[in-house]
Amino acid sequence: MSQGQVYGGDEVNAIVLDPGSYSTRAGWSAEDCPSITEPSVCCVRGNSKKFGDSEASIVKPDKQIEQIMKDGVVNDFDAASELWMYTLCQASPHRSVEYLMESPLLITEQPWNPLATQKKTLEFGLEHLNVPAIYLAKSPTLSVFSAGRGTGLVVDVGEQVASVTPVLDGVCLRKPARKSRRAGKFLSEKVLELLKQKNIDVHATFEVSQKKPYSSLNGDAPGFVLRDVECTDSYRQYHRLKVVENFKETMVQVGEPNDTKRMFELPDGNQIELGAERFTLGDALFDSDLTTDTNESSKTTESTETKDSTETTETTETTETTESAESTETKESTESTESTELNGWSAKGLGQLIVESLNACDVDVRPNLANNIIITGGTSLVQGFTERVNQTLIKELPMLKIRVFASGNVTERKNSAWIGGSILSSLGTFHQLWVTKQEYEDAGVEQICQKRFR
């Protein structure tokens, strides 16, 4: 270390908990990735609630799988606190609670986390878990820290929410922040819709006992045998969505549409080959209004027509399907504009969201923010995503120098908030910010939340 610089780290064995809408991560501060990652779901059987990936993959006839998070914040706090307890214990040595009780706890939260949840979270930490100190850190702030900056525009596209939040010197701005539901879950629904239009059933891996490769798009007869398993709908849906996730990773792409075909084999052996439609799926994240939607689909019809001009029967089929896609999309988007504009939920595409957010910021900070655009979240790993964001912004904001930062490391992209928390809680200067039990008791939850975490 050169002279004049002070090593800012001061390791105090804090625990960092990052409850995301898709998975909940926990681990010790100053580490580079969470030691435990569990899905943010609760497996309910009768009165018992169980957690963890392994639990979610065991089939039981009466096992329900419930989502714990909704719109990026806790939906069912009882289940959430149990999940957190479970995850934290998993991260702790010997899975004991005693170790946890000695360490301060840092929990991440979204900027729009309601006051009630914040209060409950403080209660959970300081009373239920009995940690010496607790802190609630905003996810975007932590993402900025994980990118090694203090100021930046965080574009976080996760499972349930796509949010754009400006962060100035570690403080999230509220008024210019934008969020929409066009994120991972939305994309999964789009995929399921597309497969439904093509009369393709998605079977979860556990449902299939025997399979033979076939292609329903080519008109082959299915060659799989289903296992006779009794399970609930929510359980089946959860596992089918897992298949869709794989589908998204392989097939969905964003950018200039081309006809490069890609193949994906469903667990039942059905081999799906798609070309330009892969891009229509990805564009759903960026398209904001009706007109662009219809434009896109008409474009794809054209391309499919030119492509399949020799096979007339095929052509008519595809045009039919895209037409129906159009109609469903228009229906949906009108619905979504009506329902989602409320409560700060935007129905616009991501590109528009970023531009809006930047333009809502003070003109003095705009150049700095545009120069530090940080992309995180699992859904941002869709192929071509970063390039598309970059291109859109350069086109829309020609006067600002756009620089997009997106970690190439998948773990870092998925867990940026946790990593930021790990960095923050291992800094020496941070320790004055912990909310101690004494403060909590003296000032009361209400005051603490208002003064410290709003």
**Which residues contact other proteins (rule: CB under 8 A)?**
8, 10-13, 102, 104, 132-133, 168-169, 171, 173-176, 361-367, 397-400, 428-429, 431-432, 434, 436-439, 451, 454
Least Å distance, CB 165 to other proteins, is 11
- Is-contact 80 19, C-beta < 8 A? yes
Nearer CB in complex with other proteins: 174/261 = 174
Nearer CB in complex with other proteins: 11/201 = 11
Least Å distance, CB 451 to other proteins, is 7
Nearer CB in complex with other proteins: 290/443 = 443
Least Å distance, CB 453 to other proteins, is 12
Nearer CB in complex with other proteins: 196/395 = 395
Measured CA distances, 231 to 40, 203, 236, 416, 448 (Å): 20, 13, 7, 35, 45
Least Å distance, CB 442 to other proteins, is 9
d(CA 36, CA 90): 7
Least Å distance, CB 99 to other proteins, is 12
d(CA 230, CA 208): 13
Nearer CB in complex with other proteins: 13/209 = 13
Nearer CB in complex with other proteins: 46/398 = 398
- Is-contact 110 138, C-beta < 8 A? yes
Nearer CB in complex with other proteins: 44/365 = 365
Least Å distance, CB 374 to other proteins, is 18
d(CA 362, CA 175): 11
Q: CA 384, 387, 389: angle at the middle one, nearest 5?
A: 105
Least Å distance, CB 166 to other proteins, is 9
Nearer CB in complex with other proteins: 45/452 = 452
Nearer CB in complex with other proteins: 258/429 = 429
Least Å distance, CB 265 to other proteins, is 46
Least Å distance, CB 386 to other proteins, is 22
Least Å distance, CB 304 to other proteins, is 34
Q: Which sign, positive or negative, has the C-alpha torsion 314, 315, 320, 322?
A: positive
Least Å distance, CB 132 to other proteins, is 6
The C-alpha torsion from 388 through 391 and 396 to 398, rounded to 10°, is 160
Nearer CB in complex with other proteins: 64/103 = 103
Residue 143 has φ and ψ, to the nearest 5°, of: -65, -40
Nearer CB in complex with other proteins: 12/417 = 12
